[in-house]
Amino acid sequence: MSLETSFERRSLPLEYPFGIARGTTTETEVVFVRIGDGDGTTGIGAAAPSSHYGETVATVEAVLPDLLSVVEDVDDPHQLERIERRMRETVRRNPSARAAVSIALHDLVAKRFDVPLYRHWGLDPAETLETSYTIGLDDLETMRAKTETALERGFGTLKVKLGTDRDLEIVRTIRSAAPDVRLFVDANEAWRPREALRKIDRLAEFDVTFVEQPVSAEDPEGLEFVSERSALPIAADESCVTLADVPAVADRCDIVNLKLMKCGGLQEARRIISTARAHGLEVMCGCMTESNASIAAACHLAPLLDYADLDGSLLLADDPAAGVPMPDGRIDLTGLDRPGTGAVLDVS
């Protein structure tokens, strides 16, 4: 076998400006990866780097030749564990670059077996979830309008970005527009510990399911302080980046939010899930603003999760990749009629 590899960068505009506590974006830059087996089968993946984790499209493009050299050197896509280990040894950071290669390899392997990835893993496609749809920070009128649009599109679970001096007003507005949806909130590290507790006490009045990353990831004691006293379950996102972080946050939260773009690959993601379960934690899989070229792979983890926040491709104005069907936000693995992750990338 002689594996063939390539990558390309594209800028993808968002449907709406997307605001969180750290700022607002209008587009996302993605690096697509292709790995072919020389016999006509090609796996695809994508990196959606985040500067918050010290990664950019420039760094992704800089390290991908080294990562793909590992793939070509091993020359066996079925050696997934070996390849991911060697990629970690070759490039210790840049997790989204490693994730893109991991996704493309898993896609290729499942295609070679002519089965969807969930079936290759032995997972039950009926045990799936509904993804949340994220309402980014904006003025109240715009956030209400985005909520109404999400309801019209059939979404029954919303995640609302907070981290402002009008957080309670935002949640009151969203809840009045969508009284029956399941509601998550995400402060993206914006609150101080005592401020978080005051706000969470009020948020509990609006039937919020959980609060994500209320305090800075640089304040583990603050996260523990909040979690021990919170009226609502606490999810750790920025505080739980890699497998090694799971034991460290196990007594400081109720839920861990893994992301392929921050943990570096699908093998690592499954280890995070198993480790979180061993510590009695619930698990959510989240995402950046991404293409279906990477979101599709994360969807195959759905049978292992408690929550899914895999709307990254749904926030794009136009995605060059098709993925796993999500009618009304439900991750429909049984509706996938293609092998691999289900991602199909246009050739433009």
Query: Do residues 250 and 201 make contact, with C-beta atoms less than 8 angstroms apart?
Result: no
User: Do both 37 and 104 map to the same domain?
Assistant: yes
User: Do both 185 and 47 map to the same domain?
Assistant: no
Domain final residue pick, 99, 115, 131: 115
pLDDT digits (tens, 9 = 90+) for 157-194: 999 999 999 999 999 999 999 999 999 999 999 999 99
> What does the pLDDT read at residue 22?
86
User: Do both 136 and 257 map to the same domain?
Assistant: yes
User: Do both 172 and 62 map to the same domain?
Assistant: no
Q: How confident is the model at residue 347 (pLDDT cuts 50, 70, 90)?
A: low
User: Do both 130 and 164 map to the same domain?
Assistant: yes
pLDDT more than 70, % of the chain:
99
pLDDT digits (tens, 9 = 90+) for 263-317: 999 999 999 999 999 999 999 999 999 999 999 999 999 999 999 999 999 999 9
User: Do both 104 and 200 map to the same domain?
Assistant: no
User: Do both 166 and 306 map to the same domain?
Assistant: yes
**Domain CATH code at residue 124:** 3.20.20.120
Rounded Cα distance, 149 and 324, in Å:
21
Domain final residue pick, 88, 115, 142: 115
Quote the pTM value.
0.96
Rounded Cα distance, 25 and 175, in Å:
25
User: Do both 231 and 324 map to the same domain?
Assistant: yes
Identify the domain containing residue 44 by its residue range.
Answer: 4-115
User: Do both 324 and 232 map to the same domain?
Assistant: yes
